[in-house]
């Protein structure tokens, strides 16, 4: 049986959307979207030294304008603070506030519960295999230029 690669790609996208919607249901009680919750937890884990927009962009892959919007909402709601970097005044460092630090245990448990629910019924071996396959896919996507469609392919679009 031939595997439909197009279907795999569509299903991966659907899973990503459904995972975010599923996690949103867990995080909405905290006043955060799933994306904001993951960003905030990342900032909390890097709060000693601070983190930058560029570091977060590399880690999560969000477009910078989208990332800026989510971070501005976190700042407006008192979860993060922004300060100039001591070594490079042009660079801004993000760190957590006391409000975010108080929320960290609940936030970590909430995101952990969401992940556990999604991967319920998977064996450790299946999870390890899924992790390896996802890492391989991410590597394929980040290390290869997008192929140019041929004239013939483009005319069928």
Assess whether pLDDT exceeds 80 at residue 70: yes
Assess whether pLDDT exceeds 70 at residue 147: no
pLDDT at 157: 55
Average pLDDT, whole number, for the chain?
88
Q: What digits encode the pLDDT tens for the residues 87-116? A: 776 788 999 999 999 999 999 999 998 889
Which residue's structure tokens are 């936030």? 107
pLDDT at 95: 94
Cα 49 from Cα 33, distance rounded (Å)? 25
Angle at 70 between CA 14 and CA 22, to 5 degrees: 35
* Confidence (pTM): 0.80
User: For 12-118, CATH number?
Assistant: 1.10.10.10
């Amino acid at each position: 049986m031939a595997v439909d690669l197009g279907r795999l790609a569509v299903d991966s996208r659907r899973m990503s959307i459904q995972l975010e919607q599923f996690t949103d249901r867990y995080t909405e009680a905290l006043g955060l979207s799933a994306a904001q919750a993951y960003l905030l937890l990342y900032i909390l884990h890097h709060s000693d030294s601070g983190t930058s927009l560029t570091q977060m962009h590399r880690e999560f892959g969000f477009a910078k304008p989208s990332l800026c919007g989510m971070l501005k909402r976190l700042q407006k709601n008192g979860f993060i603070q922004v300060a100039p970097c001591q070594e490079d005044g042009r660079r801004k460092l993000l760190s957590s506030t006391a409000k975010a630090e108080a929320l960290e245990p609940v936030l970590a448990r909430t995101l952990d519960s969401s992940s556990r629910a999604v991967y319920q019924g998977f064996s450790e071996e299946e999870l390890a295999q899924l992790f390896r396959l996802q890492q391989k896919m991410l590597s394929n996507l980040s290390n290869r230029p997008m192929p140019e469609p041929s004239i013939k392919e483009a005319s069928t679009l």
